[in-house]
Amino acid sequence: MPSLPPRFFAFLVLATLPAAAQTPPLAQEPAAKDRPNFLFIVADDLATRLGCYGDPAAVSPNLDRLAREGLLFERAYCQGVVCTPSRTSFMLGLNNKHAKPNHFIKHPETMTLGRWMRTHGYQTCSIGKLDHDDPKDAYVDPKGWDVRVKREDIKLPVKPKQLTPIHEDLGLQRKNISFIGVQDTAEATTDGMRAERALQFLKTERDPSKPFFLAVGFHSPHVPWDSTRECTDKHHKTEFALEKTPATVTPLPPGSLMHEPGLELSAPLQRTAQKGYYAAVTFLDQQVGRLLDALDQMGLGKNTVVVFTSDHGYHLGWRGQWCKHSLDEQVLRVPLIVRKPGAPTGQRAKGFVELLDLFPSFCGFAQIPAPDTLDGRSFVPMVLDPSAPGKEAAFCWSGNGRTVRTSRWRLVERTDGSRELYDHESDPQEFFSVADAPKNTAVLGELHSLLEKEFGPLPRKSAQPAAAKSE
């Protein structure tokens, strides 16, 4: 087990103390009637492929509306390149040097976001995949939720149609890229019923004497790409621009990509895959719209902070990739939209934020103390003033390396000793590393110092697969 920072052990001690010893008396906090409710929505595998992020192929009217009514973060970054490490990080508020994918299993007394909100008087409800949606609930804090609805608790009233595989015979690389499901009704989809279950909580299970913290984890657009015929018909294959890899692209070191040397699909199959993904995004958007409409219809919207994000991004053809698992912009940059009643609307924040900032930010919105051992920093000041500065940089640690992203640069340092440096002013798609250019020596030194400060020394080892297959 890697060495842990001293403040982490202090955090474990804090988590085992009685609630009264962890926090100031609740009487020092706002009364229940004066605290906001929260609707926290997490998508899965959703890159910034939304209309409000400038994607012309996206059909996402409800999330676009949420952005108009709130604040869109242009530079939000996750801390894990697959589901479990990312979710572990933001549910614990810890960076992924010491918040490993199995962290909560080994340290079940570590404080979690859900438990902290519950300790401070919130009625908490988790539906779907917030932590990793494990059948045995190994990743889920049993003390975090008044109401916990697991994947196995969701029953479909309508039998779903069979999924269609997407694959192409690439010789030795014949693999299924995904599966596509096109259903007649949302009742034949798990996400449709997750939204229905969230509506049930709002209508019949909500305790009016307490503010609520409702967290809904949707599966879309994670594979299989499931949607309805209505959502699928909103997309046409001719709309999609295919990603092309330049012939002079800088090669990546072994183990950097999930599919190596890549799965360069034929143009027709690429468009089929893109249509399946975008249809799943549109279906997700519809479910989000149902929840937003319910808040308005029930008169709850005026006192509910809505936070929407995704655990990480996704490739749709970058360097022949149709997944995640790599330390690059398409995987690490995620959508983050926040609507707070009374805050500026229709704004865009350009400062850096990280998903590990979610935990302290929820505390800031609720005007309750945050654990002083969190690695994140509240972005509430940016919601109140979108021109407020964000962080200096965003960080991530993956199986075979680590990265830092600043306003202009991304540096990736690998455990095999290799490194890449990308200049986003001239190469926003990260095709050409300029790490070997003599003029960038000073930049490399500055970025390396940021990584050392965040993570400490980088272990050196031979090339390993890009990431574990844990979702």
Torsion of CA 286, 292, 296, 299, to 10 degrees: 140
Nearest-angstrom CA–CA distance, 342 and 180:
41
Single-letter code of the amino acid located at 2: P
C-alpha closest to that of 232 among 59, 61, 53, 50: 59
- Residues 6 or more apart from 39 whose CB is under 8 A from it? 214, 216, 291, 295, 304, 305, 306, 307
Please provide the size of the chain in residues: 471
Q: For residues 422 and 381, is the Cβ–Cβ distance under 8 A?
A: no
Nearest-angstrom CA–CA distance, 291 and 162:
28
Torsion of CA 34, 68, 337, 142, to 10 degrees: 50
Q: Tens-digit pLDDT profile for the chain (471 aa)?
A: 344 443 333 333 333 333 333 334 344 688 877 899 999 999 999 999 999 999 999 999 999 999 999 999 999 999 999 999 999 999 999 998 877 778 888 888 899 999 999 999 999 999 999 987 676 777 889 899 999 998 888 999 999 999 998 887 665 555 678 899 999 999 999 999 999 999 999 999 999 999 999 999 999 999 999 999 999 999 997 789 899 999 999 999 998 998 888 887 889 899 999 999 999 999 999 999 999 999 999 999 999 999 999 999 999 999 999 999 999 999 999 999 999 999 999 999 999 999 999 999 999 999 999 999 899 999 999 999 999 999 999 999 998 899 999 999 999 999 999 999 999 999 999 999 999 999 999 999 999 999 999 999 998 775 554 444 445
**Phi, psi of 266, deg, nearest 5:** -65, 155
Outline where 175-266 has alpha helix (H): 190-200, 229-232
Superfamily of domain 6-20+34-394: Alkaline Phosphatase, subunit A (3.40.720.10)
Place of tokens 């865009």: 348
Nearest-angstrom CA–CA distance, 293 and 291:
5
**Phi, psi of 442, deg, nearest 5:** -65, -40
The two structure tokens encoding residue 17: 């103390």
**Phi, psi of 141, deg, nearest 5:** -75, 110
Domain extents for the chain?
A: 6-20+34-394
Outline where 57-162 has alpha helix (H): 61-69, 83-92, 103-106, 113-119
Nearest-angstrom CA–CA distance, 371 and 180:
43
